[in-house]
Structure 1
Amino acid sequence: MSDHEPRSAETQLPPLGTGPFRARLGQISVIACFGGLLFGYDTGVANGAEGPMAQELGLSLIQLGIVISSLVFAAAVGALIGGKVSDIIGRRRSIIIMSVLFFTGTLLVVLSPGGPELGTHSDVGYGTLVAGRIMLGLAVGAASTVVPVYLAELAPYEIRGSITGRNELAIVSGQLAAFVMNYVIAATLGDHIVGIWRVMFAMCALPAIALFIGMLRMPESPRWLVEKRRHDEALAVLMTVRSEERARAELGEVEQVAEEEAAEAKVGLPGLLSNKFLIGIVLIGIGVSMTQQLTGINSIMYYGTRVLKESGMTESQATLANIAFGVVAVIGGIIALRNMDRLDRRVTFLIGLSLTTTFHCLVGIASVVLPEGAALRPIVILVLVVGFVFSMQTFLNVAVWVWLAEIFPLHMRGLGIGISVFFGWFTNGLLALFFPTLVENIGITGSFFIFAAIGVVALTFVWRFVPETRGVSLEKLEEDVTTGEIHILTRKKRIVTAIVKKP
């Protein structure tokens, strides 16, 4: 089977073809990806805003860590709750609720009382700030699970990777927007406005409003509608994003799978716990989600300015140079989208982890070889960290979110991705909480060597356990995952690949 040839089970569907439905699918993905944009802005804005914020509110290092990590730990809860809620009330309604949370959380952060007139520290301001960050975290976590699932369930399998992957491109675009806005606001208003960090945070209210208004005009997931026995509505939605022949054929597949699930009377958590293969795939999902975070990518996105300052840059140089992380992340995301329906998910995972682990080692070595104060030290470390971010975004981040949105059966898709992403966000939270202290105590050298060691373990895990999902409809994937066939197919492909590569 070639890289572009679908499995035989998929050829039963009529070809996708072209038509106005492709434009509608693109419109839906753009609106839904405002959730990813908010995800990115809210996680990236702290990288540059944290310094002025800590100074104005008189925050200690641990309090600053709590403010930053509170969003991340709340995102873990939001991912778990958001996935399950979306299984109950629908993907579309869940995204609308998320937009309200984004807007309300932004207001709490921006209006947190504090400043010189209240002294060096305000408990009320600190508490309000943390409350706002928690609300934003719940929205970010829900967005990280619901938006990819929504896009995956609407997209045809032939282009599912590139459609679902647009959310990750929106995330890194949001982070880049945050980095650029932070620098522009600090450069133009920093000397004129007290509480400049509030302006930085306030900018995310605009995409929250756009997401709310836009989703009011978007359809519900047709696969979720079928599960709720709303077949006519599901067909009506499919007819807007497929040709008529393809829509009817695809609906038939979804209905067949839903009927089989209903006959077994085991859905959601009971269905998960009653099947050893489903338990296994959730454990693998947890591993993939944690692997993504243990590369340390979000430590750079949250504290990149701090890392660059530790390498020898000034505050202004680090804030400006930090934009490079956002730029290469977006470029990498664009390349990843182009390759998402061309390369197997496992291949992208293995390439990505090999590259990120290599760059971790190089950063650690550079920080040892080049002593503090050396003119080349900050430049070399910047180049290497940019290389790490580019590798991560090109080969890992997009592929991970696409894989997580594909792998779980319909009756537990929200629950499965919610559980997996919960552990990913929790890992992310621990890193966000302790990374400043880690860099302070063991420096760049020790921090990046730790990430490199974890990368070696992650490579072994992916090669041994992670199954392939590209080029297969969600209904066929569901059958293979539920019966354990997907592991057999992946092992066969791995063996064939090894044989082919032998000289």
Structure 2
Amino acid sequence: MTGPMRLAAMVLTVGGLLFGYDTGVINGALPSMAADFSVDEKYEGFVTSALQFGAVFGAVFGGRFSDRHGRHRTVVLVAALFTVGAVGSVLAPYWWVLSLFRVVLGLAVGGASVTVPVYLAELAPTHLRGRIISQNEFMVVFGQLLAFAFNAGIAGVADAEQASTWRWMLAICILPAIVLWAGMTVVPESPRWLARGGRIDEMLEVLRKVREHTFTSDELGEVRELAERDEQAAQGTVSDVVRTPWIRRILVIGIGMAIINQISGINVVQYYGVTILSDAGFTGNTAFVVNLLIGLAGVVGVGVALAIMTRVRRKLMLSTGLTGTIVMLSVLAATSEFMSDDVVAKRWIVLVSIVVFVGISQCAIGTMTWLYMSEIFPLTVRGVAMGISTGVQWAVNFLVALFFPLLSAAWGFGMTITVFVILQILALAWVRLKVPETKDKSLERIEREFRDA
């Protein structure tokens, strides 16, 4: 990898880091927020889910904005939103003001989730594309781990339930937001986007800069061909998706995969992990420290997925992952519901079941969801179909984050987790019956098989 390409990748993956940090930091900030604002479970759900609400719109419209105005300008806007949202959140005087600025952060998170991977893919040479995009996926889960680590460190210095402790936790992400904003001054525009707009001379200059060699005619032809494909993909509309039966079937699968990624309960753990562990019996700062194991499990899970996904069939990996999450969630629900709080082993069973659940979910469900959605949509509607599916994913994420505290307070934690177990069983049956195998199939073959079915 050349120096300029490495630098561009480092800067852009800060967007993935911020994505992970901003979605994970709320995990440890909630106890202090509750003390500061004197809020109950209902308002905790509002504050937590505000980011996901903004991410729905950031994901749906971020891709369109990027197509029209360029990848570079979009990421600069995302960096600005990260900075404004972070500063506003830290200074928020009331819970509803904090919620509004978390919506701003959500716009940035949603925009980063659809733009940064595309930007990296279009800058990277073919033989490095998979490695560089995987680097961004790793940075997302690493950002969540960093959030848990800083939360634990700050909670160790200040009282975790003291008013304003949460402000220091949220303040950490101001620095990488500024780094992303400033770093974009050295990152060039996507050559593929430039070629699509007919700006060939600028495209050639970018290729010379990021690859540090005189590119071949094959490389130039590849970029032009991909630009033509992008132009074709941009012509697809929602009407094309809805009115064409075989494309509509694919969209249903894409939306189903997006929903499956959220109804496992993975984000309940990511957002409310410290609260869950505290309720299980880990008192004081111990909950923050053991919560680091959850973040580490996510990092390890993604690492394992990247190592084995080229050798394991997609459907097998997804089915195995769902089976594993069903087992671990069942253990968690049964332990929480039937084991007495006086039993010392209870807290450790809860912790181990959550850690194993997160590792399995991140390895076999999260990674497979994004991989499936990148493969199954026909080129002519790929942009609009990905926008719809990603929007649905964030919408379900929002609902889970909003209603979990309410349901947990009304039904109890064990019964609420049982709901996720039932949903996972339904998801496993749906995957076995409806989801096709796509490993080792070209995109053209996948499209042809859907069309002929």
Would you say same fold, with TM above 0.5?
A: yes
- Is 1:64 aligned with 2:44? yes
Code of the residue aligned with 2:421 in structure 1: it is: A
Partner of residue 450, structure 2: 487
Please say if 1:397 is aligned against 2:377. no
Q: Name the counterpart of 1:359.
A: 328
Q: Which one-letter code corresponds to 2:51 in the other structure?
A: L
Conserved 8 A contact 2:155-2:285: no
Q: Which residue matches 1:253?
A: 225
Q: Offset at 1:202?
A: 0.6
The 5 A counterparts of 1:302-321 are: 302-321=271-290
- Contact persistence 2:326–2:424 (CA under 8 A): yes
Alpha-carbon displacement from aligned partner over 1:42-77 (angstroms, at most 9, x marks no partner):
111111111111211122221121111111111112
Offset of residue 424 of structure 1: 1.0
My pick for the range that moved more, 225-234 or 27-36, is 225-234
Q: Which runs of 5+ in 2 are unaligned?
A: none
TM-score (norm 1): 0.81
Cα 1:365–1:443 shift into 2, 3 Å: same
Per-residue displacement from partner, 1:134-187 (whole Å, max 9, x unpaired)?
101111111122222323444566664443232221111111111111111121
Does the CA-based 8 Å contact 2:35-2:163 persist in structure 1? no
Superposed, which structure 2 residues align to 1:63-82 within 5 Å?
A: 63-82=43-62
Provide the residue aligned with 1:461 in structure 2: 430
Q: Match for residue 85 of structure 1?
A: 65
Aligned 1:26-425 pairs, distance under 5 A: 26-113=6-93, 125-155=94-124, 160-190=129-159, 195-234=164-203, 236-237=205-206, 240=210, 244=216, 246-251=218-223, 253-254=225-226, 257=229, 261=232, 266-269=235-238, 271-273=240-242, 275-408=244-377, 412-425=381-394
CA contact (8 A) 2:8 2:186 kept: no
How far apart, CA to CA, are the structure 1 residues paired with 2:384 and 2:100? 26
Aligned residues: CA RMSD: 2.9
Q: 1:216 to 1:354 in 2, by over 3 A?
A: farther
CA contact (8 A) 1:149 1:414 kept: no
1:471–1:87 Cα change, 3 Å: farther
Amino acid at match of 1:34: V
CA deviation string 1:478-502 (max 9, x = no partner): x456xx314379x9xxxxxxxxxxx
One-letter identity of the residue aligned with 1:137:
G
Give the share of equivalent positions with the same residue, in percent.
37
In structure 2, do the counterparts of structure 1 residues 369 and 195 end up closer, same or farther at CA, with 3 Å as the change threshold? Answer: closer
- Asked if the contact 1:161/1:340 (under 8 Å) is kept, the reply is no
In structure 1, runs of 5+ residues without a counterpart are 1-19, 114-124, 492-503
Moved more, 340-349 or 366-375: 340-349
Letter in 2 for 1:364: A
Between 1:244-253 and 1:308-317, the stretch displaced more is: 244-253
1:306-327 C-alpha deviation (Å, 9 max, x unpaired): 2122322224222221111011
Hey, what's the Cα distance between the residues in 2 that align with 1:446 and 1:160?
44
Q: Which amino acid aligns with 1:349?
A: L
Matched residue of 1:322: which SS? helix
Instruction: Name the SS of the counterpart of 1:219 in structure 2.
Output: coil
Once residues 147 and 308 of structure 1 are traced to their aligned partners in structure 2, the CA distance between those partners, rounded to angstroms, is: 33
1:202-257 CA-partner distances (Å, limit 9, x unpaired): 11011111111223322333443343333454455456459625413423532553
C-alpha distance 433-255 of structure 1, shift in aligned 2 (>3 A): closer
Q: CA deviation at 1:385?
A: 0.7
* Letter matched to residue 105 of structure 1: G
Deviation at 1:381, TM superposition (A): 1.1
Output the CA distance in 2 between the equivalents of 1:480 and 1:107.
48
1:435 equivalenced with 2:404 (yes/no): yes
What is the aligned residue count? 450
Cα gap change, 1:330 to 1:436, in 2 (>3 Å):
same
Tell me if the contact between 2:78 and 2:111 (Cα under 8 Å) persists in the aligned partners.
yes
